[in-house]
Structure 1
Amino acid sequence: MSGPLEGLKVLDIATIIAAPLAATLLADYGAEVLKIEMPGHGDGVRSFPPFKDGKPLWWKTANRNKQFATLDLRTPEGLALFKRLLPRFDVLIENFRPGTLDRWGLSKEVLWSIQPRLVILRATAFGQDGPYRGRPGFARIFEAMGGLTYITGETAGEPTHPGYPMGDAIGGLFGALGVLAALWKRAKDKDAPGEEIDLALTEAVFRLLDVLPVEFDQLGFVRGRIGNANGYSAPAAVYRTRDDHWVTLAGSTNALYAANCRAIGRPDLIEDPRFANNAERVKHASELNDIFQAWCATHTLDEILAAFNAAQGTLAPIYAIDQIAADPQAQAREMITRVADRDFGSVAMSNVVPRFMVDPARLRHAAGDVGQDNRMVYQDWLGLSEAEIDALKRRDVI
């Protein structure tokens, strides 16, 4: 074990992506995370494609660095075992609909009577109260009702979801951040009580769209879709190269605008009064984007990158995964690393972010099989005999 959270113990009883991702991030930073799944089928992400030899590849990275046990909390025996396990842990992460754990006999009062300093992260679609509290949710729901989907897509086109469940990823980040904030209070005060964190995943998406509420409040402005243009900077768009690659351009300051103009051999644009500052450039964004698009269309990707690097402009290639893997910066930083895996020896996945230079965190292993650590949990930790464990398994308690 290594990393700044070494010694922290996290119990993950959540499913699918957002809440388990919060636990995975804590595991990346060195926490010891036990993931408890339902006996038999386990977490639903195990059924998500893609597969290799029948093994789910997404699962391997989504729940990396964890230990895996099975337990049916809905049974009296399962509930009793859970209560015996709980004192070992500092953090509990769950994403059941509000009131579910209460109905199973695990209200926060019961949890805190067993572990008074327990930090409880509850992740739901809409939060623990309000008229939508009981509604189910997935990433597309969070993205849609959090405002992200409406502003994404072409101006005259349909609202567009990202090609990856970003609503879950955003929620996972806020979940991990919330847990760390609660732990800081505990670190400062040894007598601090436990904490209950109410993470509404729709609110997490909305929180990142900082400008929407203030511009609506003060200007009555409802932000819409503008494709790959930029509402606060120009020129800024996606351009096709002569050899059929794509690049993206940004840069809101006068200095960066000047560098971008020099990169395409148009220093005359720097002094043009229509483009004197960022506000004026945004007004004339379509003219500027046409100029930069026309230049890119007559140059190859390598020529464009060379020109902008020489001028210190702010343009980047739009990478697919094969290009990320081949990029020298990505290779130098080991953005992709290999991790031990039970099925394939090792598999590639993204590295820990951010880096801790004094106490480095590291990836230890890919996610494992349903209940693979049951013997360790129930025999080594709780002292059950092999006969007792086998009996629990026959009754589908574990």
Structure 2
Amino acid sequence: MTEAPAGPLQGLKIVDISTVVAGPFAAGLLGDYGADVVKVEMPGAGDSLRALAPHKGGAPLWWKVTNRNKKGVTLDLRQAEGRQLFGKLIAGADVLVENFRPGTLDRWGITRAWLHGISPHLTILRVSGFGQDGPYRDRPGFARIFESMSGFTQICGEEDGRPLHLGYPISDAIAGLFGALGVLAALHDLVRHRERRGQEIDCSATEAMLRTLEFLAIEYDQLGVVRTRSGNRSQYAAPGNVYRTQDGKWASIAASTQSIFVRLCRALALDALIEDERFATNPARVKNFRALDDIIGGAIARLSLDELRRTFAEHEVGFSPIYDIADVFDDPQIAARDAIVRVPDAELGSVRMQGVVPRFSETPGRVHHAGPTIGQHNDEVYGALGLSATEIAGLRARKVI
């Protein structure tokens, strides 16, 4: 038997039939907070995320984080027997998470009316690339498309270079965050209005990414400005860039408030800049960023990374070396907070991964185990629904599970 969930959502029951990242990320966050999540995969190959790198001895490492804390079952929703068994899962659930192309579940007979006929208060989170309607609803969706279409990729990269995608599909994670937030908002509404049916939540990954970009839309609307790339330089506060130290290391520095700018100048013995009219205010500094960057960069280039670390700590200046993941593991703040935790895994014995964010004072969440193997909890979950061992074996033989 798996360990009981812990956290503020303990007792909440979620069925996750989504695949790859965005939907599973949303369900995984809720599982971090204590929800009981059953992850449903098609028999055989399972979720496509299992095929994405990295792997160790064939074991999918990315999968193990995105689907941690979940019970894993297999079920072919396209078969009549599969749909019938899925109805039993839904009968005891509070939330369904799916990210099929719009209309796919309807074609399989798994409509909103059918779902609410079984569980009237079921909250349905639908994560898709472009939303449940509109001219793009049927298009295939991928993170790079969402990031490009939202305007995000256009502002990433060197000033005179081509647009740059990040090294991680950030829009999938952001869509998952908005999806999880939407579920919690809908559940809160149900608490106050139990007479209502559960809501259907339409979460577009492209719109989630666009929402995250905050000032881009209003800037264009009011000023006609089309923002583009600036490399590592901040476009809204100065100084804000990545600077090279004397020993060839890289440091990211942010001085987005006046008080921090003053402390930065004093830390680098550049007090004259404080009264220089070119740099007296943040708008002035942004306007004259090239001259400011040359001065700041020159001062930093005379210091080693350790020297820079010490003087900035003394003057309370926002600063970090550019970490790789090995540096993250070695950082004393990460260690003190147990931000990387070791959890049991069915294939690898134990693995380390990120802990639960945020932290709750009275009902802390916990990572109980890494993502399950394909169908790992079939017997447990379907047995709890009242199926006998013989019935489960029959479903397995017929490739329903």
2:226 matched to 1:218? no
1:347 Cα deviation after fit: 0.6
CA contact (8 A) 2:15 2:89 kept: no
> In 1, distance between residues paired with 2:98 and 2:359?
27
CA contact (8 A) 1:185 1:192 kept: no
Equivalences for residues 35-184 of structure 1 within 5 A: 35-184=39-188
> In 2, distance between residues paired with 1:283 and 1:48?
44
Q: Deviations over 1:116-157 (max 9, x none)?
A: 000000011000000000001111111111111011000110
> In 1, distance between residues paired with 2:309 and 2:40?
48
Q: Deviations over 1:360-385 (max 9, x none)?
A: 11110001100011111222x22222
For 1:382, the aligned partner's letter is L
Q: Could you tell me which residue of structure 1 aligns to residue 269 of structure 2?
A: 265
CA contact (8 A) 1:117 1:193 kept: yes
2:373 matched to 1:365? no
2:245 matched to 1:241? yes
Q: Could you tell me which residue of structure 2 aligns to residue 312 of structure 1?
A: 316
Structure 1 unaligned residues grouped into runs of 5+: none
1:22 Cα deviation after fit: 0.1
1:345 Cα deviation after fit: 1.8
Q: Deviations over 1:76-112 (max 9, x none)?
A: 1101111122111000000011111111111101111
The alignment partner of 1:237 has SS state of strand
Q: Could you tell me which residue of structure 2 aligns to residue 20 of structure 1?
A: 24
CA contact (8 A) 2:96 2:124 kept: yes
Q: Deviations over 1:19-38 (max 9, x none)?
A: 00000000000000000000
For 1:144, the aligned partner's letter is S
Q: Deviations over 1:320-364 (max 9, x none)?
A: 111111111111111111111112221100010000011111110
CA contact (8 A) 1:340 1:346 kept: yes
> In 1, distance between residues paired with 2:285 and 2:224?
23
The alignment's TM-score, normalised by the length of structure 1, stands at 0.98
The alignment partner of 1:357 has SS state of coil
Identity %: 53
The 4+ residue runs of structure 1 with deviation greater than 4 A are none
Q: Could you tell me which residue of structure 2 aligns to residue 395 of structure 1?
A: 398
Structure 2 unaligned residues grouped into runs of 5+: none
Candidates 328, 335, 339, aligned match of 1:335: 339
The alignment partner of 1:315 has SS state of strand
> In 2, distance between residues paired with 1:28 and 1:382?
24
CA contact (8 A) 2:182 2:201 kept: yes
> In 2, distance between residues paired with 1:12 and 1:300?
50
Q: How well do the aligned residues superpose, as a CA RMSD in angstroms?
A: 0.9
> In 1, distance between residues paired with 2:16 and 2:157?
36
Candidates 382, 386, 389, aligned match of 1:386: 389
The alignment partner of 1:325 has SS state of helix
The alignment partner of 1:339 has SS state of strand
